A = this chain, B = another copy of it.
Amino acid sequence: MPKSQAARPRNAFYAQSGGVTAVINASAAGVIETARANKDRIRKVYAGRNGILGALNEELIDTSKETAATIAALRHTPGGAFGSCRYKLRAIEDSRAEYERLIEVFRAHDIGYFFYNGGGDSQDTAWKVSQISERMGYPVTCIGVPKTVDNDLPLTDCSPGFGSVAKYVAVSTREAGLDVASMCSTSTKVFILEVMGRHAGWIAAAGGLAAEKPGDPPHVILFPEIAFDRETFLARVQETVERHGYCVVVASEGTQDAAGQFLAEAGSRDAFGHAQLGGVAPALAAMVKDALGYKYHWALADYLQRAARHVASKTDVEQAYAVGKAAVEFALAGRNAVMPIIVRGKGKRYTWKIDAAPLSKVANVERKMPRNYITRDGFGITAAARAYLLPLIQGEAETPWRHGLPVIARLKQVMVPKKLPAFTPA
């Protein structure tokens, strides 16, 4: 990059990608507030309307039109304030036109920085954009900002978004467990909470934090990593009901049998014969009813778990903000094609700091839950898992309330005037 170009302030492009979380907007606040504190280097932050689609469609939200108070309020607003999308840029050779369009839009709006807030796929895209922008003679500083409730990004100790869903699931399991325990003598004996995590059991594992002492719920956790076996499961449920009077199950939506068949798909069908989405809980409930005759109830938290900012982990909110802030700082320090990561301190007391990982090493690597986080019988979490998970749910993030409801950011969403003709993908 010529020195003169590095010196003059350029605009930045920020986009949210994939499934949103309770804290992705805290990362947005980190990016925008840090950019505002460096106006000599970053003129304006444009946010993509509906994520990367905003760049392709030249739909850029001018965040400079939002007040400082609105940007600060992003810190406690769940969902993706600028819109997110499920849209994956393919390999460069397969969708060269899209990459070229991105660069064209960046060039038209003098965008020198690209902050991409998402999971593994998004880090891959950010990496590709950094490469192609060089090749096209319009180098853009590309920094990934980690986000995913699935906690499956590599290199970072945890992914922002996960700690809050983990806290939601642990709190809900504890609370519902007390409810079920109260009534089990004459009513529901088996309660099943279905949680997210199609490929990894991180979220289900967090349910295990609800237990303080042996016998506390949850009594059974079902992980995608452990092949589901009907007979073993039913035997465990029966044994638990006989010992404690009730049984609380936390089941990952990705629970599957040895053949890799998802229970959700093997389970219930609706009146039209469609396989029910999120059907692990009803499938398990039917199994319990059928084989053991116990009265059951089940809950499916679905989006509630990843949107529950009111019970977010303070640690998670702080980390989400910190990765947004660090992304801008890395960019200003001249770093490129990196992603801020969270590094856990080695001491007994939980500490963390931010470091950087090259996007090339992050992209398309999925981090699995270690087998030693799951008890030998496959139904619980180990002390190692607990030691890893517990710090991530610590602290209750500040939530402002008005009229009994959480206050949320209301953005003006002023659009940047378009400069280019509309883009028609091939």
Contacts and interface: CB of A to CB of B under 8 A. Distances in A.
A209 B404 contact: yes
Q: Give the number of times this chain occurs in the complex, counting copies.
A: 2
Contacts of A267: 270-271
A175 B389 CA distance: 24
Contacts of A321: none
Given A20-B179, A304-B176, A186 B53 contact: yes
Contacts of A180: 79, 303
Contacts of A396: 401
A307 B405 contact: no
A80 interface: yes
Interface in A152-188: 167, 170-172, 174-183, 185-188
Contacts of A242: none
A189 to B, nearest CB: 12
A50 interface: yes
Contacts of A292: none
Given A289-B274, A404-B394, A303 B297 contact: yes
Contacts of A414: none
Nearest to A18: B183
Interface stretch (A5-13, A93-101, A279-287, A377-385): A279-287
Nearest to A211: B405
A272 B286 contact: yes
A357 interface: no
A405 B174 contact: yes
B304 A175 contact: yes
Task: Summarize A's interface: helix, strand, loop or mixed.
Answer: mixed
A146 interface: no
B298 A302 contact: yes
A405 B171 contact: yes
Nearest to A401: B396
Nearest to A170: B405
Given A267-B271, A299-B301, A310-B311, A406 B182 contact: no
A354 interface: no
Nearest to A403: B390
A174 to B, nearest CB: 6
Contacts of A53: 185-186
A179 B85 contact: no
A407 to B, nearest CB: 10
Interface of A: 16, 19-20, 22, 50, 53, 77-81, 83-87, 167, 170-172, 174-183, 185-188, 191, 193, 209-210, 266-272, 274, 276-278, 282-283, 285-286, 289-290, 296-304, 306-311, 313, 390, 393-396, 401, 403-406, 408
23 contacts: A19-B183, A78-B178, A79-B177, A84-B183, A85-B186, A86-B186, A167-B404, A170-B405, A172-B307, A176-B303, A180-B303, A210-B405, A266-B271, A268-B276, A269-B271, A278-B297, A297-B302, A297-B303, A298-B302, A299-B300, A299-B303, A300-B302, A301-B304
In the A-B complex, the 5 residue pairs with the closest CB atoms: A79-B178, A80-B182, A299-B302, A393-B404, A270-B286
Given A270-B282, A297-B302, A301-B304, 8 more contacts: A79-B175, A79-B181, A80-B183, A193-B304, A268-B282, A278-B297, A299-B300, A299-B303
